[in-house]
């Protein structure tokens, strides 16, 4: 388990990885990746109990499923910097013959990935399945998942949310990246989500709001509260209030950088705002 | 050349073979789990549910969620069998199967009842005739369509032992249960009847009809070879090629659209390796309708009489 100081060192480095990866291939999704950098670093450096000696079954360890697979840059960066595969492999992102596909996949055998995601709305069902298997295996470890807020417009989520609430899947902690942005604009403009927390509670979930979703101590406190609420016949959701593009000033508070890479000049500005702490890939 | 006699003591639905097979493997393998989307009775999953309630998951009317949960349950070593109608097992959840099961190479067994037009009175909304095509196009997916109770029971055992995603298609009507003495191996077709003039390649409920057609042709002096292809993918190319090299004419027989089904798979193999005149007993790019199974098989040309007619047509095309 990493110290808070190590986490603080990782954050700017992961942001640099994200910017450099998407810049290098002029494609990918920096906005949501940057917005969830603190979440991923906290999850993999402090919250989850796992082995980097990866095996698909993941028995007797915590599992994580990324449902909104387009934020693969942050996932790949944090997996690499947590020891799942060489950091140098980040240079292959989205290139031919790479294990680091545009969206995460098990197909190329990248350690740390247990399901393909990209077509939205499927990850919560998968996480529920893994949680059910943990119960059958009498495995007390947790299942974590991450979902975009815009992704909640996909109906399958509500099937999954109904199931998890109705069946009391209490070894599942699902986080919603609540940045209120999606490709075409704000979620309110595209399709209002309504009161997400109230909806989840009505479906039988315990809901924990993390108002400072880009603040590591706040995220860790949210996970602590979520773990404390687990095991009580109810699934737990964390509403993580994040800022899309966090850590790169011109990318913040806008949907514009959802799926757009920075040019050379913009990359330089972004990198200048994030110190190289652990060495670029 | 004489005909082999196939006999049966009872007519029974193929879905019951699934139900019995599932209960048997549930007893044998504690990693087998079953998921159902509110059709437990229709899928004959009650015996498994009663014997192993802790391994039976009632998902509710939420097939997309069921496919995702099944994919997730493989992580940790379970072997999930999903059960619902064929229509809701494929078309309704194609993207979930594609991404979470096929592309992710999860060990999920998608078990689909009420396939094809013999679902009967419920009509076209429930009669999927496109499922074999949908599923065989997914890389890595094994696709099986069984012909009777016993073959379905054996297939259920076989797919539990097979590592990888499988689509197992069966149905609702009671059909002759004749295959007790026949082996079942995934990917291996079964030579049911030897003949020299025309090859009938049949799958699912059309297999018994093909045997009946062979009898009728025999009486008319035409020697028909009958092959049961239960595994649409991977296809037993060798068995089909060996037969058509002898007969030089083929009729494919299936309860499915002629686009995307067994017939097209056979045609591809023949086009590449041994071009041969072929006729298709299948639905002709149409939806179904309400009616009894027998009425529908008659109207849509999916019975022994239709196979005989097509066999004669294709014989006329022989060089």
For residues B205-224, give the mean pLDDT.
98
Q: Answer yes or no: is pLDDT of B318 > 90.
A: no
- Domains B13-176 and B190-316 belong to one CATH topology: yes
pLDDT at B246: 97
Contact yes or no for A178/A239 (Cβ under 8 A): yes
- How far is the alpha carbon of A23 from chain B, nearest alpha carbon, in Å? 27
Give a yes or no: residue A8 inside a domain.
yes
Give a yes or no: residue A45 inside a domain.
yes
Q: Answer yes or no: is pLDDT of A253 > 80.
A: yes
Give a yes or no: residue A280 inside a domain.
no
Q: How far apart are CA A118 and CA A134, in angstroms?
A: 25
For residues A177-185, give the mean pLDDT.
96
For residues B45-55, give the mean pLDDT.
98
Give a yes or no: residue A170 inside a domain.
yes
**Would you call A155 and B73 a contact, using CB atoms and an 8 Å cutoff?**
no
For residues A157-180, give the mean pLDDT.
98
Q: 3-state DSSP call for residue B270?
A: helix
Mutant choice from A129, A130, A141, A166 vs B, greatest count of B C-beta within 10 A = A129
For residues A226-244, give the mean pLDDT.
98
CA-based radius of gyration for chain B? 19
Give a yes or no: residue A279 inside a domain.
no
Give a yes or no: residue A244 inside a domain.
yes
- How far is the alpha carbon of A262 from chain B, nearest alpha carbon, in Å? 29
Is the domain spanning B13-176 CATH 3.40.50.300? The answer is: no
Q: How far apart are CA B156 and CA B150, in angstroms?
A: 10
Hey, is the C-beta of A117 within 8 angstroms of any chain B C-beta?
yes
Q: How far apart are CA B107 and CA B116, in angstroms?
A: 25
Active-site residue B63, yes or no? yes
Per-residue pLDDT reduced to its tens digit, B134-160: 999 999 999 999 999 999 999 999 999
Per-residue pLDDT reduced to its tens digit, A257-267: 999 999 999 99
Residue B114, token pair as written in the block: 């009420």
pLDDT at A5: 76
**In the CATH scheme, what architecture does the domain B190-316 have?**
3-Layer(aba) Sandwich (3.40)
pLDDT at A4: 74
pLDDT at B288: 97
Among A63, A114, A156, the residue with its CB nearest the CB of B65 is A156
Per-residue pLDDT reduced to its tens digit, B258-314: 999 999 999 999 999 999 999 999 999 999 999 999 999 999 999 999 999 999 999
pLDDT band at residue B1 using 50, 70 and 90 as cut-offs: low
Count: domains in chain A: 1
- Per the model's pLDDT, the better-predicted residue between A7 and A127 turns out to be A127
For residues A107-133, give the mean pLDDT.
97
Q: Answer yes or no: is pLDDT of A2 > 80.
A: no
pLDDT at A1: 61
Contact yes or no for B29/B215 (Cβ under 8 A): no
| Average pLDDT in chain A | 97
Q: What CATH number is attached to the domain comprising A104?
A: 3.40.50.970
**Would you call B78 and A119 a contact, using CB atoms and an 8 Å cutoff?**
no
For residues B179-206, give the mean pLDDT.
98
Contact yes or no for A32/A256 (Cβ under 8 A): no
Q: Answer yes or no: is pLDDT of B80 > 70.
A: yes
Q: Answer yes or no: is pLDDT of A3 > 90.
A: no
Instruction: Write down the domain spans for chain B.
Output: 13-176, 190-316
ipTM over 0.90: yes
Angle, helices A216-229/A4-25, rounded to nearest 10 degrees: 110
Q: How far apart are CA B224 and CA B219, in angstroms?
A: 11
Residue A107's Cβ-count burial label (10 Å; 0-12, 13-18, 19+) is: middle
| Segments forming the whole domain that contains residue A170 | 4-272
In percent, the amount of chain B with pLDDT more than 90 equals: 98
């Amino acid at each position: 388990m990493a110290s808070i100081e190590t986490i603080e060192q990782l954050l700017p480095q992961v942001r640099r990885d994200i910017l450099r990866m998407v810049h290098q291939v002029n494609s990918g999704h920096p906005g949501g990746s940057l917005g969830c950098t603190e979440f991923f670093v906290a999850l993999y450096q402090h919250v989850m109990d796992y082995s980097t000696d990866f095996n698909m079954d993941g028995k007797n360890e915590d599992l994580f499923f990324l449902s909104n697979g387009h934020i693969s840059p942050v996932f790949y960066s944090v997996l690499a910097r947590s020891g799942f595969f060489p950091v140098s492999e980040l240079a292959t992102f989205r290139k031919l013959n790479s294990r680091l596909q545009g969206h995460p996949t098990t197909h190329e055998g990248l350690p740390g990935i247990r399901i393909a995601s990209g077509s939205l709305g499927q990850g919560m069902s998968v996480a529920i399945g893994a949680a059910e298997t943990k119960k059958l295996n009498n495995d007390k470890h947790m299942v974590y998942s991450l979902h975009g807020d815009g992704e909640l417009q996909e109906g399958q989520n509500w099937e999954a949310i109904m199931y998890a609430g109705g069946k009391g899947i209490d070894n599942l902690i699902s986080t919603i990246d609540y940045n209120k942005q999606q490709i075409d604009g704000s979620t309110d403009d595209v399709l209002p989500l309504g009161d997400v927390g109230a909806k989840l509670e009505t479906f039988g979930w315990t809901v924990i709001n993390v108002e400072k979703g880009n603040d590591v101590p706040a995220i860790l406190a949210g996970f602590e509260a979520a773990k404390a609420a687990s095991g009580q016949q109810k699934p737990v959701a964390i509403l993580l209030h994040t800022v899309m593009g966090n850590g790169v000033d011109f990318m913040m508070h806008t949907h514009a950088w959802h799926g757009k890479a920075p040019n050379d000049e913009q990359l330089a500005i972004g990198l200048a705002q994030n110190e190289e702490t652990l060495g670029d890939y | 050349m004489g005909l082999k006699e196939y006999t049966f003591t009872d007519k029974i639905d193929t879905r019951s073979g699934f139900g019995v097979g599932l209960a048997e493997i549930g007893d044998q393998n504690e990693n087998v789990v079953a998921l159902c989307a509110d059709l437990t009775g229709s899928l004959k999953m009650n015996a498994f549910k009663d014997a192993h309630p802790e391994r039976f998951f009632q998902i509710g009317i939420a097939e997309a969620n069921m496919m995702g949960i099944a994919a997730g349950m493989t992580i940790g070593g379970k072997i999930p069998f999903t059960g619902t109608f064929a229509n809701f097992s494929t078309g309704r959840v194609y993207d979930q199967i594609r991404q979470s099961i096929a592309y992710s190479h999860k060990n999920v067994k998608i078990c689909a009842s009420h396939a094809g037009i013999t679902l009967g009175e419920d009509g076209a909304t429930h009669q999927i005739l496109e499922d074999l095509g949908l599923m065989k196009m997914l890389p890595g997916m094994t696709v099986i369509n069984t012909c009777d109770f016993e073959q379905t029971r054996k297939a259920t055992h076989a797919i539990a032992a097979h590592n990888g995603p499988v689509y197992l298609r069966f149905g609702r009507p009671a059909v002759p249960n004749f295959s007790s003495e026949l082996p079942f191996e995934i990917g291996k077709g079964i030579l049911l009847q030897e003949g020299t003039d025309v090859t009938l390649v049949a799958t699912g409920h059309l297999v018994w009809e093909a045997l009946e057609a062979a009898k009728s042709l025999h009486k008319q002096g035409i020697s028909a070879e009958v092959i049961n292809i239960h595994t649409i993918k991977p296809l037993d190319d060798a068995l089909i090629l060996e037969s058509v090299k002898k007969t030089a004419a083929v009729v494919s027989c299936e309860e499915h659209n002629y686009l995307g089904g067994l017939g097209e798979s056979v045609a591809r193999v023949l086009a590449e390796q041994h071009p041969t005149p072929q006729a298709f007993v299948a639905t002709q790019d149409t939806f179904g309708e309400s009616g009894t199974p027998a009425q529908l098989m008659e109207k849509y040309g999916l019975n022994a009489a239709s196979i005989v007619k097509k066999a004669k047509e294709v014989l006329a095309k022989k060089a």
